[in-house]
């Protein structure tokens, strides 16, 4: 529904969205609102994101003539080695989201943790571009940590997830350390259920220290001492130097064009290069003339997804360590050649040496304020490590799980190297003005979800609620995965073309996209109904 308001925030949980809206009403700008929202998300969705996670934040501020990304792709510990887990490989997830190792050392526990990156991102973004005092922006998160919150349906679903293809079930993550178990489990050790109460006084104290001392309280102060002591005690790889040396990356946007829109997105190791490659391929087709989600539409879009996935696996990694051929991958002529293959019916093959299911442990906030400032931020824990240090109250990322344990590849482990992430917070511009502010959680499915919702809005003219609610599909392997609302007749037609089609039991899936469409006479927001989020106009 289009709303005649000047500002809007969309996020995957109600409490953070409301916190961001209140910050806007208090005179904060889009950056203040986004960071306040993100900090509350870390309280009320604690396995999805948090100060010890990673993220990518796109900021557009026309009054300051600033447009750029602050990235916090959590790097591997400085003690990591390229071949340290090569002998432990059991398989690779079918969708490409990580490897399965003996003992699950990369997936859960202290060795799965990369350097905590998000807090520095939050603090840098707000300090440099916010309008309110830092303490005021942190206060809503302190409130929710200390007064408590009730488990929502999507939180309970995620905490109870059984895992797939050798991955640790999430109920093992929330019982891995006594501190996590005390926070998120009932007395019988089972995950708390919908309506159960969670209060995290330890995290409230941590946040109060951060509100007073900024990011340094975490990276070099007493919190850092507690982190390092816990890592040393339990065989973790993170050291004081990992914390002290961590800094965010600042990059210019990666630009693409799609049907008269200018697309601003993030650079590697983020997923923007995949989004632009797919848009370039699909621009060669008259998608609007196809029936939406018809067999031919799914075939064409899925083949674009597969080709971008192949290129990602081969070429995209941390640009400090890997020479990523962005210009070639995002060239229109390269896309035209792939589109010609798709027209001829050529099926791309995505190499995987095992199978598994998608993960969705990330979250998103999209904001525009009354002055036209825009923020799109995707932040995550990766696969949460399950580790909560006694007395600190937050869970650490599990980002080591997505590195390739085979040396010599774009995604291989190296000390200080960030792994590829599909996070793709983006802004589409029309005639020099923001038109679509978009992003999503959803692990390796993020770029695929953002792509489909963008096509829904731009090619098919859907409202944002329609665009984020339409059934989705994905192709990050040789199979096409479909949500349970894709008709069986479509599945049968694709199978008749020789495709393996895997039906997901869930009616919503393949990322959870949150977006704002900017019209001359109002704002149109969509919060993915697969999560618990809302749209708030101010």
The catalytic residues are 362
Whether the bond between 269 and the residue before it is cis, its omega within 30 degrees of 0, is yes
H-only helix segments in 316-394 = 326-329, 332-343
The angle formed by the CA atoms of residues 523, 524 and 530, to the nearest 5 degrees, is: 145
User: In degrees to the nearest 10, what's the CA dihedral of 322, 324, 325, 331?
Assistant: 180
DSSP state of 54: E
CA distance 305 to 476: 7
Where do the H-state alpha helices sit in 240-325?
A: 240-245, 272-282, 295-315
Q: Which 3 state secondary structure label does DSSP give 371?
A: coil
User: Tokens standing for 526?
Assistant: 């969509």
Q: Which two tokens stand for residue 321?
A: 């360590």
Could you give the C-alpha distances from 421 to 54, 212, 344, in angstroms and in order?
Answer: 10, 32, 31
**Contact present, 180 and 395 (Cβ < 8 Å):** yes
Give every CB contact of residue 309 below 8 A, 6+ residues apart in sequence: 96, 274, 350, 475, 476, 477
Distance CA 371, CA 30 (A): 9
C-alpha 451/C-alpha 442 separation (Å) is 13
Quote the CA–CA distance of 405 and 402 in Å, as a whole number: 9
| Among the listed residues 397, 371, 405, the one whose alpha carbon sits nearest the alpha carbon of residue 89 | 405
Torsion angle of the four alpha carbons 99, 102, 104, 110, in this order, in degrees rounded to the nearest 10: -120
Q: How many helices (H) and strands (E) does the chain have?
A: 18, 21
End-to-end CA distance of the chain: 14
Interstrand relation of 480-482 and 501-503 (parallel, antiparallel or unpaired): parallel
Supply angle C-alpha 393, 398, 404, rounded to 5: 170
- Let me know if 347 is exposed, middle or buried by CB neighbors in 10 A (0-12, 13-18, 19+): middle
Calpha distance 304→340 (Å, rounded): 11
Burial of 223 from C-beta contacts in 10 A (0-12 / 13-18 / 19+): buried
């Amino acid at each position: 529904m289009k709303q005649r308001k000047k500002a809007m925030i969309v996020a995957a949980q109600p409490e953070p969205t409301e916190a961001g809206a209140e910050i806007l009403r208090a005179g904060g700008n889009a950056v203040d609102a986004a960071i306040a929202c993100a900090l509350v998300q870390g309280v009320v969705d604690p396995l999805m994101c948090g100060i010890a996670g990673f993220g990518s934040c796109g900021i557009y501020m026309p009054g300051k003539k600033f447009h750029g990304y602050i990235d916090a792709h959590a790097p591997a510990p400085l003690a990591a080695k390229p071949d340290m887990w090569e002998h432990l490989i059991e398989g690779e997830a079918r969708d490409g989201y990580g490897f399965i190792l003996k003992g699950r050392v990369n997936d859960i526990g202290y060795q799965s943790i990369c350097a905590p990156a998000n807090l520095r991102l939050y603090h840098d973004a707000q300090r440099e571009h916010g309008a309110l005092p830092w303490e005021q922006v942190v206060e809503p998160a302190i409130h929710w940590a200390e007064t408590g919150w009730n488990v929502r349906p999507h939180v309970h679903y995620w905490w109870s997830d059984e895992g797939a293809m050798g991955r640790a079930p999430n109920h093992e993550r929330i019982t891995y350390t006594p501190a996590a178990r005390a926070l998120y489990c009932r007395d019988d050790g089972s995950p708390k259920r919908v309506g159960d109460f969670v209060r995290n006084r330890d995290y409230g104290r941590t946040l109060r220290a951060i509100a007073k001392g900024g990011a340094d309280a975490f990276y070099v102060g007493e919190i850092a001492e507690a982190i390092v002591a816990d890592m040393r005690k339990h065989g973790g790889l993170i050291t004081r130097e990992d914390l002290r040396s961590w800094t965010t990356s600042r990059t210019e946007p990666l630009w693409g064009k799609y049907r008269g829109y200018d697309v601003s997105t993030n650079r590697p190791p983020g997923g923007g290069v995949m989004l632009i490659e797919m848009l370039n391929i699909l621009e060669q087709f008259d998608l609007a003339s196809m029936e939406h989600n018809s067999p031919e539409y799914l075939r064409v879009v899925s083949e674009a997804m597969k080709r971008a996935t192949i290129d990602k696996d081969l070429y995209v990694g941390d640009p400090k360590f890997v020479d990523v051929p962005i210009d070639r991958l995002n060239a229109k002529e390269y896309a035209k050649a792939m589109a010609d293959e798709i027209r001829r019916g050529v099926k791309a093959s995505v190499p995987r040496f095992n199978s598994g299911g998608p993960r969705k442990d990330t979250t998103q906030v999209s904001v525009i304020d009354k002055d036209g400032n825009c923020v799109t931020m995707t932040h995550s824990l990766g696969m949460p490590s399950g580790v909560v240090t006694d007395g600190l109250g937050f869970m650490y990322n599990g980002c080591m799980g997505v590195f390739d344990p085979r040396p010599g590849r774009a995604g291989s482990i190296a000390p200080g190297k960030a792994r590829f992430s599909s996070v793709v917070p983006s802004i589409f511009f029309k005639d020099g003005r923001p038109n679509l502010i978009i992003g999503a959680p959803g692990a390796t499915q993020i770029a695929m979800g953002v792509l489909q919702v963008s096509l829904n809005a731009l090619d098919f003219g859907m409202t944002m609620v329609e665009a984020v609610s339409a059934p989705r599909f994905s192709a990050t392997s040789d199979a096409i995965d479909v949500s349970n609302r894709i008709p069986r007749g479509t599945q049968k037609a694709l199978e008749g073309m020789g495709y393996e089609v895997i039906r997901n039991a869930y009616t919503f899936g393949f990322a959870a996209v949150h977006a704002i469409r900017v019209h001359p006479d109002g704002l149109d927001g969509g919060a993915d109904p697969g999560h618990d989020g809302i749209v708030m106009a101010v």
